[in-house]
Structure 1
Amino acid sequence: MSLASHFRPRQLLIPTAIAVLLSAVACGGDQAAAVVVPPIQSGRWIAGDLHTHTTQSPDTDISQTLDKVLGKAFTTYGLDWMAVSNHLRLSSRDEKGGPLPTPIPLSLGVERYEIPRVQALQAAGTYADKLIFSGFEWDMPTHDHIGIGLFEGGDKLASSTKGMKEFEYLFTTRDAALFDAVDVAAWKAKYGTTRYNATADDALKAISWLKDNYPDTSYAVVNHPSRNKGSYTIDDFRRFNDIAPNIMFAIEGMVGNQMEPDRGGYTAAYTPENTPLRAYGGVDYIVAKVGGTWDALLGEGRRIWNLTDSDTHFKIVGGSSSGYFPGEYAKNYVFNSAQGKPAARDLLQGLRSGKMFSAYGDLINALDFNLASKDDRKEMGGELKVASGDKVTITIRFKSPARNNYEKPVDSGAAANVKPVVDHVDLIVGDVNARATPGSAAYSVATNASTRVVKRFTSADWKVDADGYFSISYETTASKNQYYRLRGTNLGADVAGLTQDGEPLADQRTGTTDNTARFNDINDRNYRSLWFYSNPVFVSQR
């Protein structure tokens, strides 16, 4: 083969047919005519987290047991699905934090401890209606961390421990003696004695391996892409996506570790040259910067989506803080058209489709964002085909919950009883041009000069519709291949130290000396600065 008791988010149902509202048209004062379009797909938003850790990760606190993380994710914060994604390193503890006599590869720990415990809980009726699966976070050679999930098993996909073990043997430096001798013999017969765990080319071989072995049942997400200088270039993102667009389709732009003093754990020195190594409103520069790296990728028509995660290791232990629990602060909402309990296949299809949005602090918990012509409509991740000169109606409808998980003091159990309120929503547009050719100068260009905020909507522009959504409609005329995406916040356009002309400013370090005061200052900082980002809808000329 080749080797190239808090607020629990409601499950909001989307009706089968919703009229497009044109009550707040904002296009130079022109009024839009009604359009007839297909009904919106029936289904619901399911909230979850792809990047979590338990005590089986060596850098996670011993108190962060599997049972604790699951309880926080599902009982306390109401998630519908979650990946347990411990580091693909040696593991010295079981799922309860108990020490192992000898450290073992994580893949074996998943097989022996993690998956059996989840299965036992669900068999007994605990979290039986939730989707829980095992992935891992890989130290990609010469780069940083990639979150990977491998599934097999026909219609009822399940995490593949067989695939995890083979991947860990091939693409890490684990001692072969730590694996089953029969497996090692089979792997050597299949691949020879060479292993791939040191070079940038080895990293690409791993992506090719995923494509060869799990072409339709795997994902690989770039985690906290700018946290460490030199981890990735836009050339890397393009290469990854070129090799396996069905697998390398997402970037964790809204990063975890939000309880760190340096928001997101982005600890590079606070100097002008390190501007790209900062978080902006808790969001990685490559996504937060309008016209930056993400827009450069979308401007080639690449289906590369943004998402968020908790990256939970522990929240507050002793004098240190790290990240919120799954579902406490960061949520991915993926649209699920299937009925009943979400399945891994449904989730993977939803992630791949791009019909999803991500939010901090429960700023919103439902979003209908679509583009409609006179006879068609496309939602996030979709592509609306039109003729030049056609009218396109952009509909934005969103909801916010009654309150979020903000506690004051932090971790006190005392709800601050704050209702998240969206101050404004930015409609961002960028042109789509030809895809850059590998080896060309364009392949290294990490900007899209055409990208801009085409309209900023405030409460003066939206109304509450019959379904309780805040609703906006905006009309434009199709003239070129483009994409549209959304960004929203609870902040005003000019808030000292946080926003300027509507753009998020770089997050500064919270360095309060007293531990308790610092933890509260960090928590207040995060809930003061809330954001949501949608995935794009494309428009192309037919």
Structure 2
Amino acid sequence: MKPVFRPAPIALAAIAALGTTVLVAAPQVASAAKPAGTYVTGDFHNHTTCSDGSISMQKLVKKVTDKTDTPWGLDWFVQAGHGGSGNRNCTLVEDASLATPAYPLNYDSNGNLQGPTTTWQSSNPAVQPKGRVSGSAPGQVMWRWQSLQEFQYPVMEYLAAYKNKPMFVGIETVAPGHEHVSASVITGQMPASLDKATLPTTKGYTPLGNATALAQWEYCFDRNDTDTSRGNSVLGGDVGNNWNCAVPGSLNSASSDWSAQAQKLVPASGSGNGDRGHAKTLEALKWMVANHPNGSYYVPAHLERAGPFNPDGNNGFNIEHLRNFNNTAPRVAFGFETQPGHGASDNRGEYSPLRNNINGVLTDSVGGTTWGGTGVYGSQVGGVWDALLGEGRNWWFFASSDWHNRGSFGPDDRRSTQDFYPGEYQRDYVMVRNGTDPKLRPQAIVDGLRSGNSFAASGQLIDRLAFVACASYPGIGARTNAAVENIAVNAALNNTDVDVAGCATMGEKLVVRPGAEVIVSIVARDPAGKNYSPYSFNNPSLAQVGIQQPLNMPVLDHIDVVRGMVTGYKQPGTAGYAGQWPNDWLTNPVMANVPAAAKNTSAAVIKTFNGATWTAVAGNAEYKKMTFRIPAVQASQYVRLRGSNLPAAVPYETDANGNPLADIHTNASNLANLRIPCNVAGTNLPSNNVVYTGDTIDGCPAHLPTVNGQKYVAFDVAAWSDLWFYSNPIYVEVQGATAVAGVK
């Protein structure tokens, strides 16, 4: 991979220097300049021994941010873990390479090393869980509110200062009525005073900031946090936090679900539990809006995995629940992780048929599996995502690693039958605006996520993207394609976005007069050289269609432009607001069977660019540029992008129109479904029982499933074979037509 360079963001003066064409094309006076910003990479959903991950916080931070031990260092990182409880002391480290002055190696009274799987009560010295303690000593569990507040946050603050890396703490909360959601409340975390802090040279660290707001939110609203102590040292005592979970303007103690002892909602189980749980989840969002409106985010994770919503239990999310979230807290609930982690699992994303037992009936993950590594809500053109965008909502696409472990391999092995590390395979590229501040702060990261000015890519398929739409009018307001393309080229080369009047980029709204022409320009960098795959043999999926391309040197095959019309917000309780995705999608993927609430029939691929229709940027062939016009617009609309290393009509990967097919035929959980052979013998094929840390495996690895002597594509090889990127949309609002209400 080529090193990423980040010159200063593009300025209007630089645009003017391109020539008079640009000046004629954009005569409008620019609005107030945006603060300086750049696209940076990160991950906000992953796990350590603080919840159910396999490694310590220190080891995960090293793997994620270090560019020596691992090459994929991220620019920012949020360490999250499940809500509820855990019994492992996740402040402890595995070995001396991870020890620091404040958190050195820890030994028991007999001199034995205590690692991160040591229980809290077995630690030296022992740590006593607080609140309504459950379990038996020495394995009693600690509520996550305590571990967040007293242990996880201090370690992360120390590591952020010690390594000078932008990091903070989040949570994968277990949502009442649903499954999992990536969330955080950043208030109190990583204060500016940390910049000048003197770090300790001996054991122990007292943080300057805190994660108390996040800890309180977890206590109040996580479904698995059944503590009733109000965040106090002992149940019934008043020493501690004395939290009250009341939400301004809500029923609170007047609700039948309110626990006076816990001072929080505790929905009863049984019939209607899912509906009651969803109501509590909306209270969680109201709490964020009331108390931390700019310092919170709430992004449903792998939301198709647990199946459709169950009104009598805790399962997935239908589209009406996403609408409810966004209606309740539009600046907090602003997107979803429809490209899940667990990309190397035997069921990609851990989505599978018959995965969930809902009221005694085995039910598929929504969509049955992932489609090109993405859930059906995001991958299906005209589906749930397009339905939300068709309302004009700020609802953005995100990806995550969901790191837990390497499956059948150890954490230092480059092969995987379960997860990829944050940044190794999937990453979010987010525009952050820290202006003249030399530090990248948590608030800038959260603001960047909220803005929608971002894209997600797997396998380093692309690592730069400028996606620009500009208005053009007859006469003095005319713009040429070349002028807009020049703007996009300079933005891509400088790894920034566009600050030009009459133009917009991802997550933004371009307001135009009826009849305007909209010029759309795209510049993407397909980086030369190797990506982070350990496999150097040719992609078996592409080999089916005669393309010889190493797995660790993918090539962008094409970019699709998807357009949909904007028709305005649907109102709760009206027809077309609620609807469940069909349960039989895997065997009968027919859009006619999708309820009107969950689709946008106007969405379609309107342009496809590839090597025959894009051109290379002069002097830098890695950058591909492409431009087109949408003539005489009369209706409000949006455009978004997707792209892949796979052309159309790759067997078991893409259909004749280039849409991703179900990943069922590369999921090793059912050997009878496997279809893509892997036939490269190779000379460097390390056995499964040795740790391999290199990147030159030149043949089908030993861990691939074998049927009747034939190896088949699955696990991590399947993921590295099948790469996609997705951009967030640009909205076009036509004056006098439907207003794009959710986006500035």
TM-score clears 0.5: yes
Query: How far does residue 391 in structure 1 lie from its aligned partner after superposition?
Result: 1.1
Query: How far does residue 42 in structure 1 lie from its aligned partner after superposition?
Result: 4.9
* Structure 2: runs of 5+ lacking an equivalent: 17-21, 93-115, 122-139, 193-207, 254-259, 268-276, 309-315, 356-361, 411-415, 473-500, 538-549, 579-596, 672-686, 689-701, 706-712, 736-744
Query: How far does residue 467 in structure 1 lie from its aligned partner after superposition?
Result: 7.0
Is 1:156–1:345's contact at 8 Å kept on the other side of the alignment? no
What's the secondary structure of 2:521's corresponding residue? strand
Q: Counterpart in 2 of 1:399? A: 525
Matched, 1:89 2:84: yes
Q: Distance in 1 between matches of 2:502 and 2:285?
A: 36
Q: Counterpart in 2 of 1:99? A: 119
Matched, 1:292 2:383: yes
TM-score, structure 2 as length reference: 0.65
Number of residue-to-residue matches in the alignment: 515
Compared CA separation, residues 34 and 486, structure 1 to 2 (3 A): farther
Is 2:563–2:637's contact at 8 Å kept on the other side of the alignment? yes
* Structure 1: runs of 5+ lacking an equivalent: 1-6, 21-31, 411-415
What's the secondary structure of 2:504's corresponding residue? strand
Compared CA separation, residues 197 and 287, structure 1 to 2 (3 A): farther
Q: Counterpart in 1 of 2:723? A: 530
* Counterpart AA for 1:389: G
Q: Give per-residue Cα distances to partners, 1:293-332, cap 9 Å, x unaligned.
A: 0000000000100010100001234598321001000000
Q: Counterpart in 1 of 2:134? A: none
Q: Distance in 2 between matches of 1:185 and 1:518?
A: 53
Is 2:83–2:218's contact at 8 Å kept on the other side of the alignment? yes
Query: How far does residue 341 in structure 1 lie from its aligned partner after superposition?
Result: 2.9
Q: Counterpart in 1 of 2:323? A: 238
Matched, 1:473 2:627: yes
Is 1:176–1:184's contact at 8 Å kept on the other side of the alignment? no
Q: Distance in 1 between matches of 2:364 and 2:120?
A: 45
Compared CA separation, residues 275 and 438, structure 1 to 2 (3 A): closer
Query: How far does residue 272 in structure 1 lie from its aligned partner after superposition?
Result: 11
Query: How far does residue 355 in structure 1 lie from its aligned partner after superposition?
Result: 0.6
Q: Counterpart in 2 of 1:371? A: 469
What's the secondary structure of 2:570's corresponding residue? coil
Matched, 1:150 2:185: yes
Matched, 1:55 2:49: yes
Matched, 1:195 2:293: no
Q: Distance in 2 between matches of 1:498 and 1:449?
A: 24
Query: How far does residue 388 in structure 1 lie from its aligned partner after superposition?
Result: 1.6
* Counterpart AA for 1:357: F
What's the secondary structure of 2:244's corresponding residue? helix
Q: Counterpart in 1 of 2:488? A: none
Task: Give the structure with higher Rg (CA).
Answer: 2
Is 2:558–2:608's contact at 8 Å kept on the other side of the alignment? yes
Task: From 512, 516, 531, give the equivalent of 1:390.
Answer: 516
By percentage of residues, which structure has more strand?
1
Q: Counterpart in 1 of 2:575? A: 441
Compared CA separation, residues 466 and 8, structure 1 to 2 (3 A): closer
Q: Distance in 2 between matches of 1:348 and 1:470?
A: 30
Q: Give per-residue Cα distances to partners, 1:486-525, cap 9 Å, x unaligned.
A: 0000000110000002110010212488974238842211
Is 1:107–1:161's contact at 8 Å kept on the other side of the alignment? no
Deviates further, 266-275 or 113-122: 266-275
Q: Counterpart in 2 of 1:499? A: 654
Identity %: 30
Is 2:559–2:642's contact at 8 Å kept on the other side of the alignment? yes
Compared CA separation, residues 84 and 432, structure 1 to 2 (3 A): same
Q: Counterpart in 2 of 1:10? A: 4
Is 1:16–1:42's contact at 8 Å kept on the other side of the alignment? no
What's the secondary structure of 1:182's corresponding residue? coil
Query: How far does residue 151 in structure 1 lie from its aligned partner after superposition?
Result: 1.6
Q: Give per-residue Cα distances to partners, 1:392-422, cap 9 Å, x unaligned.
A: 1001001122321010289xxxxx7833311
Query: How far does residue 106 in structure 1 lie from its aligned partner after superposition?
Result: 1.4
Q: Counterpart in 2 of 1:218? A: 296
> Larger relative contact order (C-alpha < 8 A, sep ≥ 6)?
1
Q: Give per-residue Cα distances to partners, 1:254-295, cap 9 Å, x unaligned.
A: 111101111111022499986623211100100000000000
Query: How far does residue 447 in structure 1 lie from its aligned partner after superposition?
Result: 0.4
* Counterpart AA for 1:174: T
Compared CA separation, residues 533 and 417, structure 1 to 2 (3 A): closer
Q: Give per-residue Cα distances to partners, 1:408-438, cap 9 Å, x unaligned.
A: 289xxxxx78333110000000000021011
Task: From 62, 65, 72, give the equivalent of 2:56.
Answer: 65
Query: How far does residue 463 in structure 1 lie from its aligned partner after superposition?
Result: 1.4
Is 2:285–2:325's contact at 8 Å kept on the other side of the alignment? yes
Q: Counterpart in 2 of 1:422? A: 556
Q: Counterpart in 2 of 1:179? A: 232
* Counterpart AA for 1:358: A
What's the secondary structure of 1:152's corresponding residue? coil
Q: Distance in 1 between matches of 2:535 and 2:731?
A: 42
Is 2:44–2:400's contact at 8 Å kept on the other side of the alignment? yes
Q: Counterpart in 2 of 1:517? A: 703
Alpha-carbon RMSD? 3.0
Matched, 1:140 2:175: yes
What's the secondary structure of 1:246's corresponding residue? coil
What's the secondary structure of 1:149's corresponding residue? strand
Compared CA separation, residues 313 and 541, structure 1 to 2 (3 A): same
Q: Give per-residue Cα distances to partners, 1:359-418, cap 9 Å, x unaligned.
A: 0001111100010013610000111111121111001001122321010289xxxxx783
Is 2:417–2:716's contact at 8 Å kept on the other side of the alignment? no
Compared CA separation, residues 159 and 522, structure 1 to 2 (3 A): farther
What's the secondary structure of 2:78's corresponding residue? strand
Q: Distance in 2 between matches of 1:137 and 1:122?
A: 20
Compared CA separation, residues 245 and 524, structure 1 to 2 (3 A): same
* Counterpart AA for 1:187: N
Compared CA separation, residues 370 and 510, structure 1 to 2 (3 A): same
Q: Counterpart in 1 of 2:423? A: 327
Compared CA separation, residues 159 and 351, structure 1 to 2 (3 A): farther
Q: Give per-residue Cα distances to partners, 1:191-240, cap 9 Å, x unaligned.
A: 65152243221111111111111111100001001001121111100000
Q: Distance in 2 between matches of 1:259 and 1:272?
A: 23
Matched, 1:302 2:429: no
Q: Counterpart in 1 of 2:136? A: none
Is 2:45–2:78's contact at 8 Å kept on the other side of the alignment? yes
Q: Counterpart in 1 of 2:738? A: none
Is 1:217–1:348's contact at 8 Å kept on the other side of the alignment? yes
Compared CA separation, residues 81 and 188, structure 1 to 2 (3 A): closer
Q: Distance in 1 between matches of 2:453 and 2:619?
A: 20
Q: Distance in 2 between matches of 1:476 and 1:351?
A: 28
Q: Distance in 1 between matches of 2:168 and 2:287?
A: 21
Deviates further, 261-270 or 433-442: 261-270
Q: Distance in 1 between matches of 2:609 and 2:246?
A: 61
* Counterpart AA for 2:25: V
Q: Distance in 2 between matches of 1:517 and 1:450?
A: 44
Q: Distance in 2 between matches of 1:268 and 1:12?
A: 44
Compared CA separation, residues 189 and 357, structure 1 to 2 (3 A): closer
TM-score, structure 1 as length reference: 0.88
